[in-house]
Amino acid sequence: MSTVVLEEPIVAIIPRWRVMAGKLLRNRAAVVGGSVVLALLLLAAFAAWIAPYDPFKINPVQRLKPPSFQHWFGTDEVGRDLLSRIIFGTRYFLLICLITASISATIGTLLGLIAGAGSALTDSIIMRIIDILLAFPYILLVLVVVAILGPSLWTGMAAVGIAGIPGYARLVRSSVLTVKREDYVTSARALGASDAEILFGTVLPNVMSPLIVYLAFATPLSALIASALSFAGLGTQPPAPEWGAMLVNSRTYLFSAWWAVAAPGMALFISIFGMNILGNGLRDVLDPRS
pLDDT tens string 38-65: 999 999 999 999 999 988 888 888 888 8
Answer whether residue 54 is part of any domain. yes
Domain region containing 83: 40-286
Answer whether residue 172 is part of any domain. yes
Answer whether residue 225 is part of any domain. yes
The residue that leads in pLDDT, 217 or 169, is 169
Closest by alpha carbon to 230, among 167, 142, 148? 142
The residue that leads in pLDDT, 147 or 99, is 99
Answer whether residue 13 is part of any domain. no
Answer whether residue 115 is part of any domain. yes
Q: What is the mean pLDDT of residues 197-212?
A: 79
Q: What is the mean pLDDT of residues 157-182?
A: 87
Percentage of the chain with pLDDT > 90? Answer: 18
What is the per-residue pLDDT for 289? 52
CA gap 59, 37 in Å, rounded: 32
DSSP string, 141-198: HHHHHHHHH-SSHHHHHHHHHHHTHHHHHHHHHHHHHHHTTSHHHHHHHHTT--HHHI
Maximum C-alpha span of the chain: 92
Contact of 283 with 33, CB cutoff 8 Å = no
What is the per-residue pLDDT for 38? 92
CA gap 279, 220 in Å, rounded: 10
What is the per-residue pLDDT for 16? 61
Q: Among 133-137, 203-207, 211-215, 282-286, where is mean pLDDT lowest?
A: 282-286
Calculate the average pLDDT of the chain: 82
pLDDT at 1 over 50: no
Percentage of the chain with pLDDT > 70? Answer: 91
The pLDDT tens digits for 216-256 are 888 888 888 887 787 777 777 778 888 888 888 888 888 88
What is the per-residue pLDDT for 3? 42
Answer whether residue 93 is part of any domain. yes
The residue that leads in pLDDT, 5 or 78, is 78
Answer whether residue 257 is part of any domain. yes
Number of separate domains in the chain: 1
Answer whether residue 121 is part of any domain. yes
Which runs of consecutive H residues, i.e. helices, occur in the chain? Answer: 10-13, 16-25, 28-45, 47-50, 82-117, 120-135, 138-149, 153-163, 165-179, 183-190, 195-197, 208-231, 243-250, 258-286
Q: Exposure of 60 by Cβ count < 10 A (0-12 exposed, 13-18 middle, 19+ buried)?
A: exposed
Q: What is the CATH number of the domain that holds 99?
A: 1.10.3720.10
Output the pTM of the full model.
Answer: 0.82
pLDDT at 11 over 50: no
Residues 6+ apart with CB under 8 A from 45: none
The pLDDT tens digits for 69-120 are 988 998 888 889 999 999 999 999 999 889 999 999 999 999 998 888 878 8
Closest by alpha carbon to 46, among 38, 35, 58, 34? 38
